[in-house]
Chains A and B, each alone.
Chain A
Amino acid sequence: MKKLINRQPSKLTAVVLGLLPFALLLLLYLSASGARLAENPDDRLLPAFSTMAESIERLAFEPNRRTGEYVLWADTRASLQRLGIGVGLAALVGLVFGVANGAVPYIRATLSPLVTGLSLVPPMALLPILFIAFGLDELSKVMLILIGITPFIIRELQGRALEIPDEQIIKLQTLGANTWQIILRLILPQLMPRLISAVRLSLGPAWLFLIAAEAIAATEGLGYRIFLVRRYLSMDVILPYVVWITLLAFLIDIALRRFSRWRYPWFHAMQR
């Protein structure tokens, strides 16, 4: 028999093996929840799937009696809007400064230490300042995401720009390019797929900052909702919301990856 390190599962086996832990966790939850509910039918800690389904049906498909809104969709829209604006702005600012730092030594010498310094500031510690400076509305939440992930994106893109072979930069000059053209025709297009992968990496922190900001001050949003219903121990709402947030994060990641593979095939071929 071959050594374990040399044995590869077949495609089907790999899928089955991959699903197995999920199934086990589900099973574990079902049995634990069943045991608790048998002892106390009013137990709120591990609600049955039917209870969760009822709650979600109420939040997603019945208008709220007070506001007339469909709570789940209103929360989702509010959160995605904040996340979208925050991450979008961070990507834009990150691209501009990442390209400038990566391309022009004089700009890099001026700004790179500042960016490194800023990236070491824990963004959550700045949240009170943001609330004071920008109020408790949308702006401070967007700013937290922006401040939280922009330094990372800048540093990432600067690093990737410096990895572009000198040969290509010299070659472009021998074809008559000036500095601006080198940025526009060589550095910017080569950094675009790297921007997407930097954004994918920073989506995790972005969600963290979003939910944290919503937990502290908001009137709607996915993070706001789970922290609101925590007071009533409403696990039947919290658990589906967490699953829903995870699903959203997963879908955004997949969409970005698909887009990158479609738009920048040369990049993904070089990665292999």
Chain B
Amino acid sequence: MPIIELKNVWKEYGREVVLERLNVRVEEGEFVTIVGASGCGKTTFLKMLLGTEQATRGHLLLDGSTIPGEPDGSRGIVFQRYSVMPHLTVERNVMLAGELAANRFLGIAFGAQRQALREEARQMLEQVGLADATDKYPHELSGGMQQRLALAQALIKRPRILLLDEPFGALDPGIRRDMHELVLSLWRSQKLTVFMITHDLEEGFLLGTRLWVFDKTRLDVQAPGAYGARITYDLPVEKTSPPLASLNAQLADTARVLGH
């Protein structure tokens, strides 16, 4: 059974069609990278997976049943910014998922349970390379380290799917490369299913096992909202040599028409 399945999914805001006729299946363990001009519904699609937006038509299935209509523990997320809790130390940020599960009323763990959560958090922090920063607050970390923390915090919950919304968009190139290695190693070791939005085609080809291009197949220059975007390319990454130049040109065309 596919982990995510879309059956004729549409998303409309009033008369504006954002996404139309999406039919796609994703198996467990795939790393899907999503590119497309801004305004082509990439973020809307991710929000539908997350549960903060609902499909207006069709069916969006997680493990064969309708995806929950609000965010919950089945789907983890890392945003470009603001993903971690500024008022908690690094360690407490990573312990958060366990603490929330341990005590439904207070959301705080005590005693042996707390020790166990701390131990687990330490191991996770070791994996993402933050072992030396456990007692720091997020504001004391660099942008890259904050994103490492956000990954650790999300992954310790063991979500069915991990959603990444341009997680490295605000980072320097060198730091981005480190983060690519980290994400790939976490994806392999934890057997994750990942959906990642990126602006950077090369990043998409580098990280993904499968690359989707969101684009409008029909584009009315007078009414850009009349038709929605679809997945115009669904490329299995290992088997194709990336047609970077032509894809980039197409995306730029759409972006011009949409005026972004």
A181 touches B107 (CB 8 A): yes
**Chain A interface, number of residues (Cβ within 8 angstroms):** 25
B100 touches A269 (CB 8 A): no
Interface of A, helix, strand, loop or mixed by DSSP: helix
A171 within 8 A of B: yes
Minimum CB–CB distance from A193 to chain B (whole Å) comes to 9
A265 touches B96 (CB 8 A): no
B72 touches A190 (CB 8 A): no
Known A174-B72, A265-B137, A270-B86: A167·B100 in contact at CB below 8 Å: no
How does the 8 Å CB contact mask read for B83-100 relative to A, with 1 for contact and 0 for none? 111110000000011011
A177 touches B100 (CB 8 A): yes
A64 within 8 A of B: no
B139 within 8 A of A: yes
Most buried by B among A171, A177, A190: A171
**A173 cross-chain contacts in B, Cβ below 8 A:** 70-72
A167 touches B79 (CB 8 A): yes
B52 within 8 A of A: yes
B96 touches A185 (CB 8 A): yes
Most buried by B among A175, A176, A185, A264: A175
A176 touches B100 (CB 8 A): yes
A266 touches B86 (CB 8 A): yes
Q: How far is the CA of A170 from the CA of B50 in the complex (A)?
A: 9
A174 touches B87 (CB 8 A): no
B59 within 8 A of A: no
Q: How far is the CA of A172 from the CA of B50 in the complex (A)?
A: 12
Across the two chains, which residue of chain B brings its CB closest to A267?
Answer: B87
B82 within 8 A of A: yes
Q: How far is the CA of A190 from the CA of B84 in the complex (A)?
A: 13
A189 within 8 A of B: yes
A41 within 8 A of B: no
Minimum CB–CB distance from B151 to chain A (whole Å) comes to 12
B249 within 8 A of A: no
A180 within 8 A of B: yes
B33 within 8 A of A: no
A176 touches B101 (CB 8 A): yes
A-B contact pairs, 23 of them (CB 8 A): A165-B81, A168-B82, A168-B85, A170-B77, A171-B85, A172-B85, A172-B96, A172-B100, A173-B71, A173-B72, A174-B50, A175-B100, A175-B157, A176-B157, A177-B100, A181-B100, A184-B107, A185-B100, A185-B107, A186-B85, A266-B137, A266-B139, A267-B87
Extra A-B contacts (5), CB below 8 Å, given A174-B73, A175-B97, A270-B86: A171-B85, A175-B73, A181-B100, A264-B87, A266-B138
